[in-house]
Structures are given as C-alpha cells and as structure tokens.
Structure 1
C-alpha cells in the first residue's frame, strides 16, 4: 500500500507541476525532460543500503529469481545505455504532450499505456490475451479516439490545431514507449540479469536515469535552449525562487513515483506496476479542473469513464490470474503431501 501511495501521489503531483511549469512561463522542452530523470541521486542512499545482493526475491512474481553468475559488465553497460536513451526519448515526448495539451486530456491519453502494455507483454513477456484484456484494449482505444475527435471543443486559443495534433501523437507515442520500456526491463531480468533483488531493481532505475539525464544535458546545449534559461527564470510569473522550486519538486516527485514503481516491481511485477499507475488517470483530470480550470465536458467525462472501465477490466483479469495461481499452488502442495505420506 505504501508503494501504491508513492506511485499515485508522485505521478499525479509531478504531472500537475509539469503543467504548472509551462503555464507560468516555462518553455524549455529539454528542461522539462531533464527534471523527469535528474532526481535519481535521491535513490543512491537506497542503493547503498540494499547493495549486498544476498537475499533474492521470493514472491509470486513470474520472474524466477535466484543467485546466479553476474552478467558481463559490457552487457550491463549496453543494456543501461540502451534503456537510458529509450527513456530520454520517452520523457521528451511526454514533455511535448504536456506543453501542447490540457493536463486532463494528457492524463486520459496516458490510458492507452495499458493497451500498449498488453501488446508488448504478449510478444516480449508471454502475456496471454483473454476476453477481459481485449475488452480493456478496445475500451481504452475508444477512449483515446474520443479525445482525439474532441479537439475542437478544447480551449486551445493559444495552441494551434497542428500543435495540438503534435501533443496528441507525442503523448500516445510516449505511452507506447514507456510500455515498451517496462516490458524490456522485465525481459532484461528474465534473460540478462536472471535474478531480482531490490538492489538490481534500483540499478535498473538509477543507471538508465543517469544516461537519460546526460542525454538531456546534451540536448539542452545542442538545441541552444540553455541560453534562454536565465531569461526564462527571470520572467517566470511566480518569481525566480518558485521557478527553481517547481523544477526541484518536479524532479523529486518523479523519483517518489519511481520509488513506488520500483517497489511494485520488487513485490509483484513491472506489468502490475504499470496497471496501478493508471489509477491516477481519473484523479489528475479532477485536480486539473480544480487547479488549472480545465474544461470537463461530456465527451471527456465519457472518455474518462471508458478509461476507468478498461482499467477495471484489466485489473480484474490480474485478480483471476492470481486466484488461479493460488489454487494450482494449493493443489500442488496437497499432491506433494499425499506422495510424502505414501
């Protein structure tokens, strides 16, 4: 429950702070991307605390974990760099989505993440499609389509239809990329690392985040946006100190969200952590209406309800799978006891 709270609270707050940065005068896409990964140093104390990999995870996680030979350093470096670059592109697309879309629409579009996760899990993690998962996939697709055709009703007086389309496509693309990222992380545990301790999960967060942060710094200087940061801070509507605090707390809350995400990966699986993160989707639009005065028209309400329905359908399938696993385990134990007695 603590991990779930961290994930939901961190994700919701970070999304709202990201929107606040843009609304109050921030305009640097690379800076908005930078803060999504730059807070990783706050996880270093956890890495030092859990560094001895002496205890393997013993849970119902489908990833079989055991103490095995460490993979080659070159393999790990390649893995972390590849995941870090993927994370950089994902964060950049999320930044464009927040820049060009109302935060409520942005959050609801992230519901497509579950549909993409189902597809990638099927091909990469041997996830089976069931009627409930297909139902979730269809509902989430319809929900996103409703938001797409509802563009004309949005308050986009300062955003052209072309930029709105870019924001829409970037947000959907970011959802797909993040789903691919989590599936690749789970695949890496299965095929490369072949064990799962809390320290290895932290490694999987910290090192790709370090690569992503370096990539953002390169992008910040290569694009020339660094030259306008001083002016941007001075012209920020709330003042220079609130400007810095907005960026700092955005970075911190993204890491709080990551701690929750890591905790759920540690206790259950990356797929389950992705499912839980969608619980924040109905919360953020409501908060956006309160704090940013976003419109919540009928089409958006229907889209939100469909997204919730799709989420519940998805989570119910996980409940059924978990129940089936427990029954099989109980039957297996009974057979083992019977054979022992014989």
Structure 2
C-alpha cells in the first residue's frame, strides 16, 4: 500500500520554533566568534596566562543558573515520566565529573592554540572537529560513514596539513617555530577532545540521563562547567600564574579597564555560545549544533583580518577554501539525513509541519 505524502503546513508553533532555532544559531556563532576574538586579543595585547584563558571558558557558568531554574520550573514531568527519565545520582555525578574534567583539559589546549597561533589559522584547524566527530560518532554512536563524510574528513585533513607545513612570516617573529608547531598540535588535540566530548555527551543523554528536555541539557552543561571551572581554577593556582595578573593588568597595551573588560566579556560571550549549543541540541540535534558551530570557520578568518590584522597568504587561502568544501560536504550529508528522517515521519503521519 503506497503512502501519500502530506503537504507540510507551517503553523504559529512552527514559526516560533524557527525563530528559536535562529536565535540559538545567532547566540552560538556570534558568541563563539566574539569569544575567540577577545581571547586572541588578550594574548595580542600582553596577556600571557594560558590558565586564565582556559578558566574564562567556564567561569561565566552562573549565567546559566537562572535559565536552569526557569526551565526546570516550567517543565513539569508527571510521576510516570519522572520515574523513567530521572537518572541514577551516582551515574549522573560520574558523568558530570568526567565530562567537566574533559572540558577543563580541552579549554587549556584551546588556550595554548590561541596563544601560539593567529586566529585565522586557529579557526581553520578547529574545523577538524567535524572530521574527528565523524570518526568518533562512527565508533561510539553508530553513525554511518558515507562518501560525503569521508570526503569531508579527507579534505579537512589536507587543509590542516597545508597549514602545518606553511610559514607564518608575519606572526610574532620572536615566537619560536617550536611553539607554533605546539599550537597546531594542541589545537588538533583540543578538536579531537571536543569531538570525543560531544560523542560521550550523546551517550550520556541516551544511557544515563535518558532525556533531552531543556532542563536536562542545561543542567548537563551547567554541572560539567562547574567541574571544568573548578579544575581550571586549581590549575591556575597551582601553576602560580596568579602572581603575574597584577603585572599583566598594568602592562596591558589598552590599559587596566580594557584588560578587565576583555576578561569579563570573554567569559560572558562563551556562556552565550553555550546557551546557543544547548538550545540547538534541544530544538534540533547535538549533531546539528556541532555543524552550526563549525560555521565559525567561515567567519572567524575574515574577522581576524579586519579586527586583528591577520595576514592571509596563498597557502592559507587554499586551506580556507578546502575547509569550506569539507564543511559543505559535512552539512549536505546532515541535510540528506534530516530529509530522510522527515520523510519517515511523514509516512508515519508524525510530522508537525
């Protein structure tokens, strides 16, 4: 018996959802781009502490607390639903602890990448998150490895290889080449850690939390951010970098007020980006939030040239174009998967619009 496809109807509810997705996308891309520019500006103008840069990525977690309280109050589960979705405390705590410590390590590696690389190069290398994500989701989340995904992995690998063998003649001539290589390696490692973190987060939702309602998504982000902030704070204190903060503030090129505002707004914009991630995870899917977040690579290099005066040479332009190609391949595969899923919903009579 053939199934007749019903025309999709846009209702007020659909328009509201579209607006929410657009808002979360703006939060994610805008917050991420701004946070990375401010993070790079911190090092450009005299900042030196890698632990400070890592700490700022989670220090603004109190911003999430009102959102968690609001959505927890608004989303009331029935007794039956609650018994099905309430995770076991020990498993949930273990999940938050491990994910938080993983985030702290990732934040520190990203901080080293921002310190030792131009923002344009840093953003292009971060595009490998998609390649790593495709590989890890294949092993951990049973995601299909299609020709488009394979193309994306290969192209992004070539793009980063070009950046690794090229020179950055205009970037900090007093910075040893070894530190640039270390920056590339640690940014790659951070991108791989990000992808592992994303895959484990999906497993956590499926096996431990067993729901992806808004409060659950926000709580996971909040609790692991508290752990990450605590871990980065311990590292900051143990390393002794806190002793140099007063000197950094006094020697910051744009002055003390600019130094403080750079730190404050870096922490705030990271939280705005995380709110965008949480919203897209709930409204669409975790995979979609990763793909949208990776769109930063199309914007950050341009902003780096305009705001930070990064130099774009021929090899970097080629790497940028290859990275865009890899991103489009990845997103087109996601589009095909999403279209297939909607067709199945239509055939089952479950589609809303």
Using structure 2 for the length normalisation, give the TM-score: 0.89
Which residue of 258, 275, 278 corresponds with 2:274?
A: 258
Q: What are the residue-to-residue correspondences of 1:1-342 with 2, within 5 Å?
A: 1-52=22-73, 53-54=75-76, 68-151=84-167, 153=169, 155-333=171-349
Whole-Å Cα distance in 2 between the matches of residues 125 and 67 of structure 1?
25
Offset of residue 66 of structure 1: 8.5
Change (3 A) 1:330 1:69: closer
Which runs of at least 4 in structure 1 moved beyond 6 Å after TM superposition? none
TM-superposition CA deviations, 1:82-123 (whole Å, max 9, x none):
001000000000000000001110010001000000011111
Change (3 A) 1:110 1:154: farther
**1:66–1:194 CA contact under 8 A, matched in 2:** no
Offset of residue 294 of structure 1: 0.9
Offset of residue 153 of structure 1: 4.4
**2:56–2:267 CA contact under 8 A, matched in 1:** yes
Offset of residue 142 of structure 1: 0.6
User: Which blocks of at least 5 consecutive residues in structure 2 are unaligned?
Assistant: 1-21
Offset of residue 152 of structure 1: 5.2
Offset of residue 134 of structure 1: 0.6
Offset of residue 11 of structure 1: 0.5
Offset of residue 67 of structure 1: 6.5
Whole-Å Cα distance in 2 between the matches of residues 331 and 265 of structure 1?
25
Whole-Å Cα distance in 1 between the matches of residues 58 and 288 of structure 2?
22
**2:88–2:208 CA contact under 8 A, matched in 1:** no
Whole-Å Cα distance in 2 between the matches of residues 23 and 191 of structure 1?
43
Offset of residue 217 of structure 1: 1.1
Whole-Å Cα distance in 2 between the matches of residues 278 and 152 of structure 1?
23
Q: What is aligned with 2:7?
A: none
Q: What is aligned with 1:59?
A: none
Q: Pick which of 154-163 and 79-88 moved more.
A: 154-163
Offset of residue 54 of structure 1: 2.5
Whole-Å Cα distance in 2 between the matches of residues 69 and 311 of structure 1?
35
Using structure 1 for the length normalisation, give the TM-score: 0.92
Offset of residue 323 of structure 1: 1.3
Whole-Å Cα distance in 1 between the matches of residues 62 and 168 of structure 2?
42
Offset of residue 156 of structure 1: 4.0
Whole-Å Cα distance in 2 between the matches of residues 325 and 205 of structure 1?
27
**2:133–2:196 CA contact under 8 A, matched in 1:** yes
